């Protein structure tokens, strides 16, 4: 029985013939036998997007122009200084929301008012309320900031700033 010898020979011949087909491909003639890795490191990661790490609002004694706000970009934070109207002497400014939209690279800040629970008597007159809101970021700062005031049932845009 020479079948085993025949199958062995055919197996070796087919294996040898296919060895060139499963190799790394044709020689491009560059003279470089490396696998394409130059040994250096390539940074293929996408750059980190800014993310908000903190927020606070401080009431100010002084109130610049009522209904307005200004925006300043620092190293790691965005500061909004503004003035809105309170319903009475017990109204205080509060940070309603501060939300960063990474897709639009925009920070939306809403400042509103609430009644202070100090328990004292309140003047029954409209009051200008100064504030400074600071939002802290890591990995950069937003390019655009929109500041909205919500007070006495009205919503107005106090600032729309880009850097």
User: Over 80: is that where the pLDDT of 131 sits?
Assistant: yes
How far is the first Cα of the chain from the last one, in angstroms, to the nearest whole number?
Answer: 88
Domain boundaries, given as residue ranges, for the chain: 55-162
Task: Determine the Cα–Cα distance for residues 30 and 66; give it in Å rounded to an integer.
Answer: 71
Per-residue model confidence (pLDDT) at position 158: 98
pTM across the whole model: 0.70
What phi and psi, each to the nearest 5 degrees, are found at residue 3? Answer: -65, -40
Count CB-CB contacts under 10 A for residue 113: 23
pLDDT digits (tens, 9 = 90+) for 133-163: 999 999 999 999 999 999 999 999 999 999 9
**Burial letters for 70-92: b for 16+ Cβ neighbours within 10 Å, e otherwise?**
ebeeeeebbebbbbbbbbeebbb
């Amino acid at each position: 029985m020479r079948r085993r010898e025949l199958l062995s020979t055919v197996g070796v011949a087919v294996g040898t013939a296919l060895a060139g087909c499963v190799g790394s491909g044709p020689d491009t003639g560059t003279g470089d036998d490396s696998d394409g890795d130059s040994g250096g490191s390539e940074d293929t990661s996408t750059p980190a997007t800014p993310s908000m790490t903190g927020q606070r609002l401080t009431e100010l004694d002084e109130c610049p122009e009522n209904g307005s706000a200004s925006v300043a970009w620092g190293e790691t934070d965005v500061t909004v200084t503004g003035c809105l109207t309170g319903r009475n002497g017990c109204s205080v400014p509060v940070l309603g929301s501060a939300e960063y939209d990474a897709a639009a690279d925009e920070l939306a800040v809403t400042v509103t008012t609430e009644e202070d629970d100090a328990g004292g008597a309140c003047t029954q007159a409209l009051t200008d309320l100064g504030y400074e809101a600071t939002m802290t970021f890591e990995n950069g700062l937003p390019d655009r900031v929109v500041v909205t005031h919500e007070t006495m049932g009205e919503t107005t845009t106090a600032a729309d700033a880009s850097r």
